[in-house]
Amino acid sequence: MDQTVKIKNEEGLHARPAGFLVKKASQFKSVIEIRANGKTANAKSIMSVMGLGLNKDADVTISAVGVDEKEALDALVGLVERKFVAEA
């Protein structure tokens, strides 16, 4: 299952938000990938995510396959939509 979202924060997906994304993705058992600009990254690898070089307003597709795919997708899409601000 997958969903496309837009990077909303001004700095794009630089080191700090990429770290938040990887940390969140690593909490799930599912295989999680991010696709953008014709590239695919392992969402559990900081180097892979940073390699996408995503800027503000970039469209990214997050996909999750596995036992907790819905929960993983919901959590990661929510994180992107909140501009990588943690939940209260």
Residues carrying an active site annotation: 14
Q: Please, where are the H alpha helices in the chain?
A: 15-25, 46-50, 69-81
* Beta-carbon count within 10 A of 86 CB: 9
Would you state the structure tokens that stand for residue 32, as one six-digit string? 């999680």
Task: Assess contact for 16 and 85: CB atoms under 8 A.
Answer: no
Residue in this structure with the two tokens 């770290």, named with its chain if needed: 19
